[in-house]
Structure 1
Amino acid sequence: MTETALITRIAARGDGVTDDGRHVAGAVPGDRVREDGIIIPGPNRAEPLCRHFGKCGGCELQHVAEGALADFVRDRVLGALAAQDVAAVAVLPAQLSPPQSRRRAALTALRTGKQVAIGFNAAQSNQIVDMRQCPLLLPELFALIAPLRELLAMIAQQRRPVKVKLQMLDQGVEVVLEGVKAEGLDAAMALQDFAGAHKLARFAVDQGQGLETLWQPEPPTVRFGDVTVEVPAFSFLQATTAGQAALVDAVTRAVGDAGAIADLFAGVGTFALSLQKGRKIYAAEGARDAIAALKAAANRARALVATEHRDLFRRPLIPAELNRFGAVILDPPRAGAEEQVAQLAASDAPVIAYVSCNPASFARDAKRLVDGGYTLDWVQPVGQFRWSTHVELAGRFSR
């Protein structure tokens, strides 16, 4: 009888891992692997929904059943904390965003002859997988792929990649094209006709001299709580509304009834405006257009939100500033916030709600906070990049 090895977990890059530590591409926990590499399917496999799966880099885990997918998201967080020797805490069940819920995407298009390919890149490659199906994107976003293919056949330069950014806003879809040359009256009219025909919220194009808004019938907005924000072009938003709701709920639970809150790396106000009802919020952000949008929205709503344009990497809040708040929200980029975390570890802030899109940098920063006297109370994993190895989370630290 041929010996087999049991797949016990999925590694950070999506490979199955045997009980003896061997990595097997395409394997799922519960599968068994023969000595010749043949996978014997187990109970945790699913039939991939997309014809592009296996080639497109947008998804790595469509072959994983729902329960095992949730376990993978949770285990990514547990593994990162263990690697930093952060004591086991309450790591809650993962919350996964549903299929067809991605409200933002950055795709690439390439014109070759009369044909235009548009989609995500192939895994570990610059090759574009021409998108003919996508169970990830909101239907409203995917509905624009074929029309964009036709438009780019007119205005894209031969063999020059075009960045195609799509995002759902309150008024409809925002489209941003980078790297096109819309020369001549016909091209200009084609762009206007496209925006009108598809009732876009905003259509902006960068032809090499900066982003130019060609179509915007009214200021495009996004709503956080009861406050509406007029957002700049392709502003950073959470990838799905379900993922945003999960993170906002976790942060709300973390800060409790704190009356004065600092929101660091505040963006356009996802957390500051969702939590502001009757509270005093200080919001700091390094991107000037984002903090300007947040400030304008707070002023219109007469919310108790004070904003500051501040580079928190070069000028983090120091303990004397942090100690004024009953809770601090931290939502840094993927690299984490080493400079700001060092100041937090030396502060007396009673609660920190840390939102992260990278379990590894979160665990590194968690180690610094725990060494500084904080307790990591719980972590909420969030899988809003469904079928991806990309994991988000929110954690609560307290003194």
Structure 2
Amino acid sequence: MTDLNLIVRVAARGDGVTADGRFAPLAAPGDRLLADGSVEPGPHHQPPPCRHFPECGGCQLQHLDDQSYAGFVRDRIANALEGQGLKLPDFAPVHLSQARTRRRASLSAQRIGRRVLLGFKQERSNRIEDMRECHILHPELFALVEPLRALLAALLPDKRAATVKMTLADQGADLLLEGASADTLAAAEALTGFADRHGLARLSLDDGFGPQTRWEPQPVTVTLSGTPVLLPHDAFLQATADGEAALVAAVREALGDAAVTADLFAGIGTFALSLAGKLYAAEASRDAVLTLKSSGRGLFVEHRDLYRRPLSTAELNRFEAVVLDPPRAGAEAQAQQLAASTVPRIAYVSCNPASFARDAKLLVAGGYRLAHVTPVGQFRWSTHVELCAAFARG
């Protein structure tokens, strides 16, 4: 007989779901929902490692062990595909990034009197969870959290909010402070002194008129598939190095030995720089386009907004393979053109299972076969899921 109080899965926003469809916060598969609304832990319920859980919005699933967390990542993708009426393909084992490997993050800050709050915002709230420990950030980035409080106390007026964008580059930490200004000599000296003491790769301010570099001893780069490329301010970078490697490997496997490839929504070259043969790259960000053109790899790069002007079927038919890595909104217009094309192979990288499944339905309706999906959970303990899907003609 089915135990209707048994938690059988975790929903998209992180709540456990019982066999009869009731929701239970902070429940893992195998837990039981008791009559008073509390949860009796089961075999997959682990003690959360961080004191800030569950208030901090940086993590929603620290109570899941790796087996159930991997199941959540896979199920998010499978449920999205089934919701579009698609047959499930083969799934690779889920790749999970380990704790303390995040190399980019956006933290919120606010000065209240002499105190500066700094951390992720609380779940479903604008309140800042003041970070005193973190189990997802790379240690080199977390080491800057406490010193940043003192710096921001000197830069922010009382009750002023700011955002700290952190990225780990080849030369060290790259920081962009949004909402902060340094108009006095003392503030300018505080900035350069902070950057020097902590060995930053770059320190920039954005007071509303775009990033201004205030410290950069040498050009900041990030190495992608063995090629160092310039890192523009606030450029998109995969959240972990191992997550990037898993997605690159999946893309390469999906494309095989294609000699002429198009990389659409190419960014700064995460996938284009990993591929052999002739490469065309399309990207809407001017800074990313300049990075790709200066990479030394001989790519043909076009500054092109693929939402407004997707590649046409005639343009696509010149390629043996296509890589798609769109933002969360997906690539519906481009997928429609691809569905009518003769491109033999497609690798679709996505950070949103819902928009991916919508676009996958278009491709399948156009005659493509969804052959394989590689799920990636590089935002450790969050509900954020990534994937690489392989499509083939016929």
Please indicate the TM-score interval, normalised by the length of the shorter structure.
over 0.9
8 Å contact from structure 1 (residues 78, 91) kept in 2: no
Structure 1 partner of 2:291: 293
- Write the letter of the residue equivalent to 1:100: R
Aligned-pair distance for 1:46? Answer: 0.9
Structure 2 partner of 1:131: 131
- Write the letter of the residue equivalent to 1:325: F
Aligned-pair distance for 1:233? Answer: 1.1
Aligned-pair distance for 1:35? Answer: 2.3
| Distance in 2 separating the partners of 1:75 and 1:209 | 42
* Partner SS for 2:33: strand
* Partner SS for 2:99: coil
Q: Does 1:347 align with 2:341?
A: yes
1:396 aligned residue (384, 387, 390):
390
| Distance in 2 separating the partners of 1:335 and 1:209 | 26
Structure 2 partner of 1:17: 17
- Write the letter of the residue equivalent to 2:387: L
8 Å contact from structure 1 (residues 102, 240) kept in 2: yes
Per-residue CA shift, 1:236-280, capped at 9, x if unaligned?
A: 10000011001000000000000010000000000001113xx10
Using the TM superposition, name which of 29-38 and 11-20 deviates more: 29-38
8 Å contact from structure 1 (residues 322, 344) kept in 2: yes
Q: Where do 5+ consecutive residues of structure 2 fail to align?
A: none
| Distance in 1 separating the partners of 2:187 and 2:36 | 57
Matches within 5 A, 1:273-352: 273-276=273-276, 279-297=277-295, 301=296, 303-352=297-346
Structure 2 partner of 1:101: 101
Using the TM superposition, name which of 155-164 and 385-394 deviates more: 155-164
1:379 aligned residue (344, 348, 373):
373
Matches within 5 A, 1:10-49: 10-49=10-49
Matches within 5 A, 1:162-177: 162-177=162-177
8 Å contact from structure 1 (residues 174, 234) kept in 2: no
8 Å contact from structure 1 (residues 74, 92) kept in 2: no
| Distance in 2 separating the partners of 1:17 and 1:93 | 24
8 Å contact from structure 1 (residues 107, 165) kept in 2: yes
Structure 2 partner of 1:359: 353
- How many positions carry a matched residue from both structures? 391
* Partner SS for 1:361: helix
8 Å contact from structure 1 (residues 4, 35) kept in 2: no
Aligned-pair distance for 1:38? Answer: 2.1
Structure 1 partner of 2:141: 141
- Write the letter of the residue equivalent to 2:246: A
* Partner SS for 2:80: helix
Structure 1 partner of 2:205: 205
* Partner SS for 2:329: coil
Aligned-pair distance for 1:210? Answer: 2.3
Structure 2 partner of 1:158: 158
Structure 2 partner of 1:53: 53
8 Å contact from structure 1 (residues 94, 382) kept in 2: yes
| Distance in 2 separating the partners of 1:202 and 1:322 | 39
Aligned-pair distance for 1:39? Answer: 1.1
- Write the letter of the residue equivalent to 1:294: L
| Distance in 2 separating the partners of 1:304 and 1:324 | 18
Per-residue CA shift, 1:197-220, capped at 9, x if unaligned?
A: 111101000123321100001100
- Write the letter of the residue equivalent to 1:280: K
Structure 2 partner of 1:228: 228
| Distance in 2 separating the partners of 1:183 and 1:213 | 14
8 Å contact from structure 2 (residues 339, 362) kept in 1: yes
Q: How high is the TM-score relative to the length of structure 2?
A: 0.98
8 Å contact from structure 1 (residues 49, 62) kept in 2: yes
8 Å contact from structure 2 (residues 181, 205) kept in 1: no
Task: Calculate percent identity across the aligned residue pairs.
Answer: 57
* Partner SS for 2:342: coil
| Distance in 2 separating the partners of 1:264 and 1:152 | 39
- Write the letter of the residue equivalent to 1:291: V
| Distance in 1 separating the partners of 2:317 and 2:156 | 53
Q: Which runs of 4+ in 1 moved over 3 A?
A: none
Q: How high is the TM-score relative to the length of structure 1?
A: 0.97
Matches within 5 A, 1:104-119: 104-119=104-119
Aligned-pair distance for 1:180? Answer: 1.2
Aligned-pair distance for 1:4? Answer: 6.2
* Partner SS for 1:360: helix
Structural RMSD (CA): 0.9
- Write the letter of the residue equivalent to 1:293: T
8 Å contact from structure 1 (residues 157, 181) kept in 2: no
8 Å contact from structure 2 (residues 4, 20) kept in 1: no
Aligned-pair distance for 1:185? Answer: 1.0
Structure 2 partner of 1:261: 261
Aligned-pair distance for 1:183? Answer: 2.6
Aligned-pair distance for 1:379? Answer: 0.5
